[in-house]
Structure 1
Amino acid sequence: MAVFTTITDDDARQLLADYDIGSLVSLRGITAGIENTNYFLNTTRGEYVLTIFEVLTHQQLPFYIELMHHLAQRGIPVPSPQTRRDGARIGTLHGKPSAIVSRLPGGYEPEPGIEHCRLIGATLARAHMASADFELSQPNLRGLAWWTHTVPSVLPFLTPDQSAMLQDELAHQQQLDASPAWQSLPLGPAHCDLFRDNVLFAGTNEDPHMGGIIDFYFAGCDRWLFDVAVAVNDWCIHRNNGQLKPELVQAWLQAYASVRPFTAAEREAWPHMLRAAALRFWISRLYDFYLPRPAQTLKPHDPRHFERVLQLRRSEVVPALP
C-alpha cells in the first residue's frame, strides 16, 4: 500500500489553486510503490499523478524533479512536473513535500520481448544524450560508496561462501573504479533503477509503443554504462534463474548504440559493469531483507535472485557490446 498520507478532495482543490492545470474531477489512491504516497489526479485539463514524499525532503528533491523537467522539455517520455503559479515545481501538503506530474499512458510489461527491449534501449540512450547539459549534479546515492559502507552490516547474516563472494566482488569493483579506464567511461545523470516495472508501454504486446520512464527517485550521476547494465540484468533474463537471453540482449544493446554508440572503454568494461549492477542490487536487497526500516510496509525482495545473477555474471561469457 502506497497511501501513507490521506488526501481529501478538499486538500486537492486547495493544492490545485496553486497551479494552472484545471479544476478537480477525481482523486484516487495508487497502491503501487514503497516510499511515497501517490494519487491519480484528474482535472478538467488533463490526467496527472500527485505524489507526497514521505522520505525525501524539500532539500533533496530538486535534482529528481528538475531532471524530469529537463528531460520532458527535450521530448523524452517521462513524467513532466507541473509548475506552480509561483514558479516552483515542489509544493507542500500536510507538511510534506509534494509534486504533480503528468500521467503517462500504458502499463508495465512483465515479460518484455524484442520490440520492448528495442524501444527502451533507444529511449534510454536518448535520455542520456538529453541529460548531458543538465546543470544540477548529485552522485548515485546507491553507488560504490554506499556499497562499501553497507557490506559490513550484512556480512553477519551470510554463509562463509556468500561472504567470500560478496567481499571479493566488492574489492574487484573498488579496484576497477580507481583505474584510469573506468574513470574515462562516459557519465552523467542516470536513472539507476531501470527495471521493467519502471517503464510503461501503450499499444499491444505484439505492437508496443513507448509510454515512458517513471520513478526517478534513485537517479544520480553515474557512468551511463551502469544504467545500461542495471536494465539488461532485469529486462533480458530468464526470471527463474537470471540467465541472459542473448536475443533480447542484442536487441537492447543495438537499439541503444544506434542512438549513442558505445566507446572502446565501455566495450572493455561491459562484463565487469554487469557484475557491478548485480552487486548493487544484491547488497540493497540483503540490506532491506535483514535490516528493514521500521516503517517499511511491503515485503522485501528475496536477495537470492541477485546472488544468482552475480554468480552467473562472474562465470559466464556475456554478449559483447555492439
Structure 2
Amino acid sequence: MAVYTEVSDEALTAFLSAYGIGTLLSCKGIAEGVENTNYFLHTTGGSYILTLYEKRVRLGDLPFFLNLMEHLAARGLACPQPIRNRDGVALGELCGRPAVIVSFLEGVSVKRPGVDHCRALGRALAGLHAAGTDFGMRRDNNLSVASWAPLFAGAEAQADTVSPGLAARVRADLAVLEAGWPGGLPSGVIHADLFTDNVFFIGDDLSGLIDFYFACTDAFAYDLAICLNAWCFDADSRFHRDMGAALIAGYEAVRPLTQAEVAALPILCRGAALRFLLTRLVDWLNVPKGALVQPKDPLEYDRRLVFHRQAGHARDYGWGG
C-alpha cells in the first residue's frame, strides 16, 4: 500500500455518490507498501479501504482478485470484501485509475512475530489454500521463475550501486534456480505476498488476511516458502528455526505436505527470496518523485539468501516429519 495518485475532495465525493456507504467523514492516505494507492475512508456508514490500482496490477487481472476475495469469504476465510455500487459493480474508475472500495478488517499487524503467530499463520495459509480449491478462475504467476531474469535485466546495470557484488550474486542464484525449479507440485490459489503487514491479529488470535493483489495460481509450497522468508528471519537476517517449525506445523495440521513438496522446500525458499530481492531492487531504483511511498530494502533479501544457499533440506527450515 502507498499513495501515488492524489485524489481531490471533489473527485472522491463524486466517486462515493455511486455507493450506498454514507457520507464521507474523513480520508487519509496509507503510506505502507509499494504497489497501489490506498486511502482509509471513514463514512457515516462505517470504515473502508479505497484502492487505486497502479504499477504491476493489470486491468484484466482485477476480476480475479475481486472475485477471489468474495469466494474466500463465502468459505469462511476472514478477508476484505469488495463493496459493490448501486448498480452491483465493484470496480470503478477514479482519477484515471481503476479503483475499488473494500471492507475494513479489524486487527493489527505484528512487527515482531513469535512462535504462536507463526503457527496461527500456517493454519490460516493452509485454510486459504483449501478454500480456494473450487475457485473457478485461474491467474498465472507473472512473478515466477521465468520472469526473474527479465526483471533483473532492467536493474542489473545499477545493482552494484546498491551493494557491491550484488549483480554477480543475483546472476549466480538465477542460474541455480532456473536449472532446478520444481514442477508438478500440488497447486491452486496462493496469496503470494503474505507478509506480516498483510496478516491481522486481535490479541493472540489471527483476525484476517488482506492485500490479495498478487494472488495467483501456483504451487502451495511456494506460498509457504514466501511466508518462511517473511516471518521467520529477524532484523539481523538470522533464521529462527523454532518459528519455521511452528509455521510448517500449523500448516500441516490442516494440509500435510507431500514428499515432493518437502524435497522442494529449500529451492522454493531460495526462489522466493530472490523474487522479493528483485522486485524491491526495481522499486528502490525507480521511486517516483513526490510519491508518498516507503520503498522496502532489497538487501534484506540479499542477506537472507546467504542462509538459503547453504540450506539443503526442509529440516533446516523446521520441518519435523
Bucket of the pairwise TM-score, normalised by the shorter protein: 0.7 to 0.9
- Select the residue among 208, 215, 220 that pairs with 2:216: 220
Which amino acid is 1:231 matched to?
C
After superposition, residues 1-322 of structure 1 pair within 5 angstroms as 2=3, 4-8=5-9, 11-20=11-20, 22-24=21-23, 26-33=25-32, 34-55=34-55, 56=57, 58-156=59-157, 157-158=159-160, 161-177=165-181, 182-203=182-203, 208-240=204-236, 242-292=237-287, 297-316=292-311, 318-321=316-319, 322=321
Contact 2:37–2:52 (CA under 8 A) maintained in structure 1 = yes
1:6-32 deviation per Cα after TM superposition (whole angstroms, max 9, x unaligned): 242x65554444334x41252221332
Q: Equivalent residue of 2:39, what SS?
A: strand
1:143-198 deviation per Cα after TM superposition (whole angstroms, max 9, x unaligned): 11220212233333338854343222212221223xxxx22211122111111111
Give the deviation of 1:77 after TM superposition: 1.2
Contact 1:106–1:211 (CA under 8 A) maintained in structure 2 = yes
Give the deviation of 1:291 after TM superposition: 4.6
Q: Equivalent residue of 1:188, what SS?
A: strand
Give the deviation of 1:84 after TM superposition: 2.5
Distance of aligned partners of 1:29 and 1:3 in 2 relative to their CA distance in 1, 3 Å threshold: farther
1:64-88 deviation per Cα after TM superposition (whole angstroms, max 9, x unaligned): 1121121112111111112223232
Q: Equivalent residue of 2:67, what SS?
A: helix
Q: How far apart are the structure 1 equivalents of 2:318 and 2:144? A: 24
Q: How far apart are the structure 2 equivalents of 1:54 and 1:165? A: 30
TM-score where L is the length of structure 2: 0.88
1:88-134 deviation per Cα after TM superposition (whole angstroms, max 9, x unaligned): 21112233222111101111100011121111111111111111222
Which amino acid is 2:206 matched to?
M
Distance of aligned partners of 1:5 and 1:237 in 2 relative to their CA distance in 1, 3 Å threshold: same
Distance of aligned partners of 1:70 and 1:171 in 2 relative to their CA distance in 1, 3 Å threshold: same
Q: How far apart are the structure 2 equivalents of 1:37 and 1:197? A: 16
Give the deviation of 1:266 after TM superposition: 0.3
Which amino acid is 1:255 matched to?
G
Contact 1:58–1:90 (CA under 8 A) maintained in structure 2 = no
Of structures 1 and 2, the one with the larger relative CO (CA 8 A, separation 6+) is 2
TM-score where L is the length of structure 1: 0.87
Give the deviation of 1:306 after TM superposition: 0.9
Q: How far apart are the structure 2 equivalents of 1:164 and 1:86? A: 54
Contact 1:3–1:30 (CA under 8 A) maintained in structure 2 = no
1:191-245 deviation per Cα after TM superposition (whole angstroms, max 9, x unaligned): 1111111111112xxxx121211112222222111111111112111221x2211
Question: Alpha carbon RMSD of aligned pairs, Å?
Answer: 2.4
Q: Equivalent residue of 2:223, what SS?
A: helix
Contact 1:79–1:214 (CA under 8 A) maintained in structure 2 = yes
Contact 2:192–2:214 (CA under 8 A) maintained in structure 1 = yes
Deviating more after overlay: 310-319 vs 256-265: 310-319
Distance of aligned partners of 1:92 and 1:288 in 2 relative to their CA distance in 1, 3 Å threshold: closer
Q: Equivalent residue of 2:239, what SS?
A: coil
Runs of at least 5 residues in structure 1 that lack an aligned partner in the other structure: none
Q: How far apart are the structure 2 equivalents of 1:71 and 1:129? A: 9
Distance of aligned partners of 1:305 and 1:46 in 2 relative to their CA distance in 1, 3 Å threshold: same
Give the deviation of 1:137 after TM superposition: 1.6
